[in-house]
């Protein structure tokens, strides 16, 4: 027998053995699945039959399914039939029948939070701060936001009667007709300083690419010198919409993103399919720590292709792809099926859900373990932990006094009073509070409760606690009390020390009373540091070119530690 035949026969034997092992393994998997489902069903049956109190069986099953999925990642989730419509509204479509408001509860009462321009509520002069007393003669006492929201929603063309109260005036009634409320993906676009086009994209739901296309087409009529695409706090959405948006700025047949998972048939590479709407104008993409998923595909792909300069803070770091699967009784499950990889070959996923610590916490990719990749022109970029900006801008945190004035609704209330006292204001871009008007706001706060603890006071309190534990408080008390008095004295000046940022929030809120969401953006432009950096970069063509070539002060040497330190990771963006 030849050596070749010996190996051939051995190969056949090995192949047969491998097939047998494969079949045994598959059969064992089926047995384990059947066994575990039988155990689950039996536990459910016995508890449902024998538990001492009545059981909400649907809630119990959902709790069990949620617990089963919780060990995977926060994006793999079960959606029961009762939650399907809300799921579609948040993750697929942006349309529903309603009057065009948002609401909130306060001291057991329901109030209008915001009014959207062009819809029934705005046309009927319903305003933020109006209390909703009744809807179709139904009293709202003890009803939560979700219940009131359901009463406001309904079929397009259906009538709705709302009783409202504004300030101390008598209650009044408005009869409206519900319209299809389409929350746009592009919440604002326009020309800003330097004749630069600006597009704010809030989400990547249905038709988002069409909306960006429309905005870009209209902006081009003004012959802009550059474009700013603002993806800050955009938590993502539909992957294909992201690919289409990249295609607006990138030539045909260019790879944008690929998804790779366990099932080969679900692996796919997305490429641009048409010629760009604008392939040459200088482009800046703004991101922050809440820019996630589809936002990172757009920002990362345009960075990898050297088509845009990314400005802001490190993005969130969600490099996972989900697909929905229909289940019996109109329910569904959304499952993470793959990771996505942008043109340089990197994946931006920051958290490793597959390798948790013993306590169940998720491990974040260490800065030291990041891998270097290259953009089309050879710039260094890195995987893991999101998209690093080419030009980092430190994210400013509002002072404690400002945050307190916002959270206690004092700025919100003052804006409502201001609107009641002033019939009109200048255009939002030009609107600014005078020193005298700011003084009126300070007087308005007199007697109002906005107590707060500064970071320094919190540290001092902690020090006092530790000193007491170590039995050193008596000795340190004079110094600690003197320091507390000093901090308290300094705190009295906070309304003047932080005047600029408080004015920023006030002007933003007041402008929204007259010019709605558009007014918020335009009033805030003059305070927006990332926007200022974007305009500066787009107007300085040599600077722009040097960034895209990885030259000069903006070239990242080694791993971008400064960017890492400045960035923050906020919760789970979905």
Q: 97-124, pLDDT tens digit by residue?
A: 899 999 999 999 999 999 999 999 999 9
Q: How many CB atoms are located within 10 Å of the residue 338 CB? A: 20
Asked if the model's pLDDT at residue 284 lies above 50, the reply is yes
Spatial CB neighbours of 59, under 8 Å, sequence gap ≥ 6 = none
Find the range with the poorest average confidence among 159-173, 326-340, 550-564.
550-564
pLDDT recorded at residue 12 = 44
pLDDT recorded at residue 155 = 87
Of 72, 71, 84, 65, the closest CA to residue 337 belongs to 72
Q: 342-395, pLDDT tens digit by residue?
A: 999 999 999 988 888 877 788 777 777 789 999 999 999 999 889 999 999 999
Q: 435 and 530 in contact (C-beta within 8 Å)?
A: no
pLDDT recorded at residue 82 = 81
Three-class HEC string of 265-292: HHCEEEECCCCCCCCCCCEEEEECCCCC
Tokens 């504004």 sit on residue: 166
Spatial CB neighbours of 43, under 8 Å, sequence gap ≥ 6 = none
Q: Tokens representing 195?
A: 């004749």
Q: 43-54, pLDDT tens digit by residue?
A: 888 988 898 998
Asked if the model's pLDDT at residue 566 lies above 50, the reply is no
Q: What is the mean pLDDT of the chain?
A: 87
Alpha-carbon gap, residue 165 to 126, rounded angstroms: 10
pLDDT recorded at residue 1 = 47
- Highest mean pLDDT (candidates 214-228, 441-455, 487-501): 214-228
Residue 74: exposed, middle, or buried by beta-carbon count in 10 A (0-12, 13-18, 19+)? middle
Could you tell me whether strands 309-312 and 391-392 are parallel, antiparallel, or unpaired per DSSP bridges? parallel
Instruction: Report the pLDDT averaged over residues 226-231.
Output: 98
Q: 435-490, pLDDT tens digit by residue?
A: 999 999 999 999 898 887 777 778 878 877 877 777 776 777 777 777 777 766 67
pLDDT recorded at residue 521 = 97
């Amino acid at each position: 027998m030849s050596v070749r035949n010996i190996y051939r026969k051995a190969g056949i034997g090995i192949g047969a053995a491998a097939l047998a092992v494969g079949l045994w393994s598959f059969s064992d998997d089926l047995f384990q699945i059947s066994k575990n489902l039988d155990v689950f069903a039996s536990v459910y049956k016995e508890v449902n039959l024998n538990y001492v109190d009545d059981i909400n069986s649907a809630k119990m099953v959902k709790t069990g399914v949620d617990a089963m999925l919780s060990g995977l990642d926060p994006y793999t989730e079960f959606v029961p039939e009762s939650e399907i419509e809300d799921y579609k509204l948040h993750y697929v479509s942006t349309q529903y029948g309603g009057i065009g408001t948002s609401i909130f509860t306060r001291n057991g009462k329901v109030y209008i939070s915001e009014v959207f321009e062009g819809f029934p509520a705005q046309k009927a002069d319903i305003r933020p701060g109006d209390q909703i007393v009744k809807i179709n003669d139904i009293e709202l006492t003890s009803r939560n936001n979700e219940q009131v929201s359901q009463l406001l929603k309904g079929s397009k063309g259906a009538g709705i009667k709302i009783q409202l109260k504004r300030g101390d005036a008598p209650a009044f009634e408005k009869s409206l007709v519900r319209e299809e409320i389409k929350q746009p993906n592009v919440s604002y676009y326009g020309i800003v300083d330097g004749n630069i086009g600006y597009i704010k994209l809030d989400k990547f739901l249905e038709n988002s690419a069409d909306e960006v296309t429309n905005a870009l087409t209209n902006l081009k009529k003004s012959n802009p010198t550059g474009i700013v695409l603002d993806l800050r706090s955009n938590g993502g959405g539909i992957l294909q919409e992201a690919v289409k948006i990249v295609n607006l700025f990138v030539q045909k047949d260019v790879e944008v993103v690929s998804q790779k998972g366990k099932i080969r048939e679900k692996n796919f590479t997305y490429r641009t399919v048409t010629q760009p709407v604008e392939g040459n104008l200088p482009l800046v993409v703004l991101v922050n720590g809440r820019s996630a998923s589809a936002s990172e595909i757009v920002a990362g792909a345009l960075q990898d292709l050297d088509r845009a300069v990314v400005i802001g803070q490190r993005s969130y770091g969600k490099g996972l792809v989900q697909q929905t699967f229909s289940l019996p009784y109109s329910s569904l499950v959304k499952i993470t099926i793959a990771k996505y990889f942008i043109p340089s070959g990197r994946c931006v996923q920051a958290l490793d859900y597959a390798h948790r610590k013993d306590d169940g916490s998720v491990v974040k990719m260490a800065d030291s373990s990041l891998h270097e990749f290259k953009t089309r022109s050879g710039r260094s970029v890195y995987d893991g932990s999101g998209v690093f900006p080419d030009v980092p801008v430190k994210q400013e945190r509002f002072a404690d006094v400002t945050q307190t004035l916002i959270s206690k609704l004092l700025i919100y209330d003052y804006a409502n009073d201001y609107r009641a006292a002033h019939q009109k204001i200048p255009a939002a871009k030009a609107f600014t509070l005078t020193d005298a008007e700011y003084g009126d706001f300070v007087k308005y706060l007199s007697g109002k409760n906005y107590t707060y603890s500064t970071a320094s006071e919190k540290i001092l309190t902690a020090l006092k606690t530790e000193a007491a534990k170590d039995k050193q408080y008596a000795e340190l008390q004079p110094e600690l009390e003197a320091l507390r008095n000093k901090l308290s004295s300094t705190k009295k000046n906070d309304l003047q020390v932080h005047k600029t940022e408080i004015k920023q929030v006030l002007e933003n809120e007041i402008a929204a009373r007259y010019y709605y969401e558009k007014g918020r953006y335009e009033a805030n432009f003059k305070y927006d540091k990332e926007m200022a950096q974007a305009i500066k970069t787009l107007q300085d063509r040599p600077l722009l070119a040097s960034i895209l070539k990885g030259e000069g002060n903006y070239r990242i040497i080694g791993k971008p530690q400064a960017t890492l330190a400045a960035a923050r990771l906020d919760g789970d963006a979905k």
